[in-house]
Amino acid sequence: MSAISIGQAVVLGVVEGVTEFLPVSSTGHLKITEGLMGIPVDDKSVVAFTAVIQVGAIAAVLVYFFKDIVRIVSAWGRGLANREERYHHDYKFAWWVIYATIPIVVVGLAAKPLIDGPLASLWVVAGSLIVGSGLMWAADQMSRHKRGEDDISLKDAMLVGSSQILALLFPGFSRSGATMSTGLILDLERVAATRLSFFLGIPALTGAGLYELKDAVGAGVSAAPLVVGTLVSFVVAYASIAWLLKFVAKHSFNAFVVYRIVIGVLLFGLLGTGVLHA
């Protein structure tokens, strides 16, 4: 028997697509949804399933930013072949994305037993939602929003990339929330911080999904729910990306801060009353 049905895969695909790139924690929302549907959140196959359907959301980023990705990859290829091309910002940016992904890969492999075990608790999710909200609000308030995408440096990329570890260790913190907040602390404009978050998420989340694929299939999830969940997350994530970029161009992150606090408090209440089990 598959640990996840087709219907459940559709619901989880929608949740993943909506929340993966919004700074509200896709992992947290997925775990809450799984708990409400009676799916064991710490089951090996379930953990793997949620990592795999993230690939659908990443595919949406690849399609949405296709021209940008082609430009950056082309500059990287030219730089490898021609020394003079190595001064181009896009060439440097390609390397920075690679470098900035290394910290989360190292921590992810080293801490995997904790990530899949004790840290997968819904209590951790609830606390991380609220604590992450405080960071997001403070970052948005202190940022001068004066630096654009062309001003991004290796230091910026490394700090923003390393901040992904917070979401890896504390589900509910939000990878997007952590990276965007760090970008704002570095005085990046909201759109620049958001786009950097997208680009840094491509290798990190794709790698996680491919790494977990064998566990998802081998641990009891059939191919059909995986395919359905991934396709649904792709469609929904594409729409979510387009909406988010338009939203941050004109608004602060305060709406997300309030939403996260409400969800975090609600989750504490559900856990405390026994409606959900950690």
How confident is the model at residue 183, as a pLDDT?
Answer: 95
Chain segment 22-48, per-residue pLDDT in tens: 999 887 788 788 888 888 766 777 777
Q: What is the pLDDT of residue 225?
A: 87
Tokens of 85: 């091309």
pLDDT in tens, 77-102: 999 999 888 989 999 999 999 999 99
pLDDT per residue as tens digits for the range 187-208: 999 999 999 999 998 888 788 7
Place 49 in a pLDDT band, splitting at 50, 70 and 90: confident
Distance CA 39, CA 72 (A): 41
Give percent above pLDDT 90 in the chain.
58
63-91 burial string, b = 16+ CB within 10 Å, else e? Answer: ebbeeebeebeebbeebeeeeebeebebb
What is the SS3 assignment for 8?
Answer: helix
- Which pLDDT tens digit goes with each residue over 146-177? 999 889 999 999 999 999 999 889 988 888 99
Whether residue 251 is predicted with pLDDT greater than 60 in this model: the reply is yes
Amino acid at 160: V
pTM (two decimals): 0.86
Q: Looking at the predicted structure, is the pLDDT value of residue 2 above 60? A: no
Instruction: Say whether pLDDT at 113 is over 90.
Output: no
Nearest to 54 by CA among 191, 167, 180, 181: 167
pLDDT of residue 221: 66
What is the H or E stretch that residue 99 is in? helix 89-110
Q: Which pLDDT score is estimated for 4?
A: 81
Closest CA to 34 of 218, 267, 202: 267
> What is the band of 68 on the pLDDT scale with cuts at 50, 70, 90?
very high
* pLDDT value at 138 more than 90: yes
Q: How sure is the predictor about 1, in pLDDT bands with cuts at 50, 70 and 90?
A: very low
Q: Over 90: is that where the pLDDT of 224 sits?
A: no
> Which residues pair with residue 114 across a beta bridge?
none
